[in-house]
Structures are given as C-alpha cells and as structure tokens.
Amino acid sequence: MKKKAVNKSILVPIILMFVILTGFVIYRVGPFPTIPIFTWTSLDKAHNLGEMTPIKNYSPSYNLLVISKEYPLKEDMIPDISEYRTSGVLMATDITEDYGVLSDYIRENMNDTLYVESSYRSFADQERVYKEEGSSIAALPGCSEHQSGLALDVYVMNFGGSAFTNSSVGKFVNTNCGDFGFIIRYPLGAEEITGFAYEPWHIRYVGIPHSQIIMDNKITLEEYIDSFEIGSWYKYENYLISRQNPNNIEVPTKYKDYERTISPDNMGYCIVTINTK
Ligand SMILES: [Zn+2]
C-alpha cells in the first residue's frame, strides 16, 4: 500500500509537467504541422545546350513580374493597356487573348459567364482605393498587381469574392486556370510568402508554361522565381527557361531564332523562356 502511494505522488507532477509542456509547444509552435505529400524544389536542369548567343536588344514582356509589398511595381515596368473586346474593361494587352480563351471556354462548356469586377487600376486609382478601404483590405499604391494590368478579380453571377469557389466556375478557375496562362496569385495558406490572405477571385497572368508549373505544383509565384539558379537552364516539356542577369542575357545559339519571351522579374533579374517546338 505504502509503495503505491509513493508512485502516485511522483506520477502526478510528471503528468502535469507533460500536459503543461505540450500545451506550451502547441501554443508557441502551432498545432502539429501537416506534412506535404511531395515537396517541389525546381524544374529539371537542361544540360549540353552548346554555344550561347548574347541578346542585346529585345522588347520585354512583363508576364513574370513579382509585384508585392516587398517588390513594388516600378514606374517604368508597366505593360501596354488595352480594352478587352468592347467591354470597357482595361487589362494588359498581352493578356486579352488568353483571358478571352478562358472566358469563351466557360461560356461554351459551363454555360456561365465570367465577369471582371476589377482589372487595371492606375497608381492614382490604387491610392484612392487604399484611402477608402484601408490597409487591411487594399494594397499600398505600387504594391497592387492591378496596377500592372496583369491581374483580374473575377466572379460569376451570385458568386463573388470568397463565395466564388462555391460555384462550379469558381472551382474550375481555381483548379484549371494554369492551362489558360493564369495562376491563383494568393493561394490558401501562403500568406507568409505572398503577404496576402487567400483570394480565390484574383487571377494573375504569367503565361504558359509558367502558369501550369505553378498551379500543378501548388506553389506561389515567389517560390517559383526563387527556384531558379541565376544563369542555369531548365526544361519543362518543349520549353527552356533561364533566369539571367538583365545586362548579360544569352540564349543557346541553336535556339536563337525560336519563339521566346524575356520578362523582368522585378527582383533584379530576367526570365528567358524559349519555345523549342
Ligand atoms: Zn485583385
């Protein structure tokens, strides 16, 4: 009897300490972390591309600009803006065709209409929105992707904002926009990386194949751009991709006449994309 009582008196403080410590760890570190099914690191590197040709003059595309609180849009990095069809909606000229493909696909295959609630906003527009809505909702002027004309806030009738994903079109856009050149720029659970909470309605043009790589691997634009080693070449299907110093751009000589885009990333480098088909 006596022996049992002694054990009990030791056990109680031990159990109490365990409970307190576990509680403390959960409070400080958060609940047990979820382990991702797979971790994406980068595309496969392309080797033996042979001789290189320097590229001196090019007209940049702006599809891979990172625009964020950390990397605000520079004034000289604004794409051409055009009206989408005859809708009165303004967006970057480069994205009108691909947005049209997405919009037509939804009309023809899902019997619904995708609307644009907000598209291009000038610096002055963004300043006004920021003043009206405050910093918890609106981005600081310069930090909004809408100033580039590359981002669109979309909805279908009765399903706007965070309710967008309650509609079948919203689910479709959030799963398949990569096949149309767009990404969900602020995905769920990536607030620490993007600086924005989940916005299922905000689609951002980056172009194929980048949109497919980002959406298929469930990563952010920041993680994608960061995955490239400066000067290395990577392959994805029939594309070659390289992140390079803007003053020293070169392409493999054998592909120098192939279709390509060169986009500044707004972080000091350029992304060269070559379609080798
Ligand atoms: Zn938006």
Ligand 1 center from residue 187 Cα (angstroms): 12
Are 50 and 7 in the same domain? no
List 132, 199, 223, 259, catalytic entry: 199
Task: Write down the pTM of the prediction.
Answer: 0.84
Q: Residue 227: which residues within 8 A CB-CB, separation 6 or more? A: 40, 41, 42, 43
Closest CA to 142 of 156, 123, 165: 123
Ligand 1 center from residue 118 Cα (angstroms): 7
In a domain, 116, yes or no: yes
State which H helix or E strand residue 170 sits in: helix 168-176
Handedness of CA 16, 19, 21, 27 (dihedral sign): negative
Contact 104, 258 (CB under 8 A): no
Angle among Cα 59, 65, 69 to the nearest 5 degrees reads 145
Ligand 1 center from residue 146 Cα (angstroms): 6
Q: What is the pLDDT of residues 208-250, one digit of tens each?
A: 999 999 999 999 999 999 999 999 999 999 999 999 999 999 9
Are 3 and 84 in the same domain? no
How many domains would you assign to the chain? Answer: 2
State which H helix or E strand residue 264 sits in: strand 260-264
In a domain, 39, yes or no: no
Are 167 and 235 in the same domain? yes
Q: What is the pLDDT along the chain (277 residues), one digit of tens a residue?
A: 455 555 677 777 777 777 777 666 555 554 554 554 568 889 999 999 999 999 999 999 999 999 999 999 987 777 899 999 999 999 999 999 999 999 999 999 999 999 999 999 888 888 888 899 888 878 888 888 999 999 999 999 999 999 999 999 999 999 999 999 999 999 999 999 999 999 999 999 999 999 999 999 999 999 999 999 999 999 999 999 999 999 999 999 999 999 999 999 999 999 999 999 9
Active-site annotation holds for 75: no
Structural domain that includes position 194: 44-275
